[in-house]
Amino acid sequence: MFRAYPIGRLCGIRLDVHASWFPIYALIAATIANAEPVRVLGWIDAYAVGAVAALVLFASVVVHELAHALTARRFGVQTSSISLFLFGGVATLEAEPPGPLADALVALAGPAMSAAIALAAYGAMLAVDPVVPVRYADSAAAILAYVTFANAVLATFNLIPAYPMDGGRVLRALLWRLRGDRDRATATAALVGIAFGLSFAAAGVVAVVATRTWQFAWYVVVAGFLVRTSWVQYRALRRPPVLVSVRPSRPSASEVVSVGARTADRWSV
Ligand SMILES: [Zn+2]
């Protein structure tokens, strides 16, 4: 339905931008520009802050995916692409990690990287005053505050143990280690992901009705994406073989998905 545009290579991995990314980038940039502490900078500066902060946010999502990809490479698994799309970023691995420990480490590398970026941005924010010229100090501080907040949310939200998020993959790795069966572990983690997604959707509906704030409808959209991804994974593993000689359809590649910070809180600086 949408096209993906290759925009370059990072450490030998193709970087794609999906057409669905452009509207979400514009929406995030505009939302940051209109947030209370940014709006006071005046509309030109506010939109400049919004545009830069949203770009830095997606750059940090790419670095998060790169952390997954380079950890996977360490275990002999290559990554065919890293893509930005409507719901954040995704690294498409060419194979599953070779064992539960590798699986858990590949999954944990992303949130660990986001937490490190949040700490670095927070440190940079504290150092803005003596370094950045006064004219740009407020804008720089606003961008760094946003990048700190967004990466902290990215690290935390992705650790929720619900597939397809990173925490769900850690849960899968744990079950794989305990039961010794990767597919059964994946199916269970996918079921937990479906249950979480449905609860998240219900919470979104309640929030829309209770507060009459339509932004919460986005939670329902994200929940729909989580449920669909988990369901596709679950069904692929549970589908019985059609013929004895034909193996059941199995996902051939492993996708490590990062859901954007927008899912966990309203955009604010
Ligand atoms: Zn991730």
DSSP letters spanning 142-208: HHHHHHHHHHHHHHHHHTSS-TTSHHHHHHHHHHHHHHS-HHHHHHHHHHHHHHHHHHHHHHHHHHH
Contacts of 214 (CB under 8 A, 6+ apart): 208
Ion ligand 1: residues, CB < 5 A: 110, 166, 258
pLDDT of residue 133: 63
Measured CA angle at 84 (ends 15, 73), to 5 deg: 50
Query: What are the beta bridge partners of residue 84?
Result: 17, 89
Q: What pLDDT was estimated at residue 236?
A: 81
pLDDT digits (tens, 9 = 90+) for 82-116: 999 888 888 998 888 899 999 999 999 999 999 99
Tokens linked to 10: 């990072």
Q: Which residue has the tokens 């986005």?
A: 218
pLDDT in tens, 161-200: 988 889 999 999 999 999 988 888 888 988 898 999 899 8
Quick check: 17 and 84 in contact, CB under 8 A? yes
Q: How far is the CA of 166 from the centre of ligand 1 (A)?
A: 5
Residue 115 or 127, more confident: 115
**Residue-averaged pLDDT of the chain:** 83
Q: How many CB atoms neighbour CB 120 within 10 A?
A: 15
Q: In terms of DSSP bridges, do strands 13-18 and 79-85 run parallel, antiparallel, or are they unpaired?
A: parallel
Give the residue carrying structure tokens 């490190």.
Answer: 116
Q: Which residues are catalytic?
A: 65
Candidates 241, 251, 242; CA nearest to 186 is 251
Reference 229, options 259, 264, 265; nearest CA is 259
What pLDDT shows up at residue 96? 87
pLDDT at 207: 87
pLDDT number for residue 131: 63
Ligand 1 centroid, distance to 87 Cα (angstroms): 12
111 CA to middle of ligand 1, Å? 6
Contact of 188 with 233, CB cutoff 8 Å:
no
96: helix, strand or coil: coil
Distance 107 CA to ligand 1 centre (A): 6
Q: Which of 145, 171, 173 is nearest to 159 (CA)?
A: 171
Q: How far is CA 69 from CA 74, 111, 203, 218, 245, in A?
A: 9, 13, 33, 28, 34
CA 59 to chain centre: 12
Distance 81 CA to ligand 1 centre (A): 14
Q: What is the mean pLDDT of residues 37-51?
A: 84
3-state class (DSSP) for residue 9: strand
* Cα-to-centroid distance, 156 and ligand 1 (Å): 11
Mean per-residue pLDDT for 228-233? 85
- Rounded distance from Cα 240 to ligand 1 centre (Å): 30
Residue 259 has pLDDT above 50, yes or no: yes
The average pLDDT across 138-154 equals 88
Ligand 1: centre distance to CA 241 (Å): 32
pLDDT at 264: 31
Identify whether the C-beta of residue 107 lies closer than 8 Å to the C-beta of residue 256.
Answer: yes
Q: For residue 13, what pLDDT is reported?
A: 93
pLDDT value at residue 140: 82
Q: How far is CA 198 from the centre of its chain?
A: 19
- How confident is the model at residue 253, as a pLDDT? 53
pLDDT band at 130 (very low <50, low <70, confident <90, very high): low
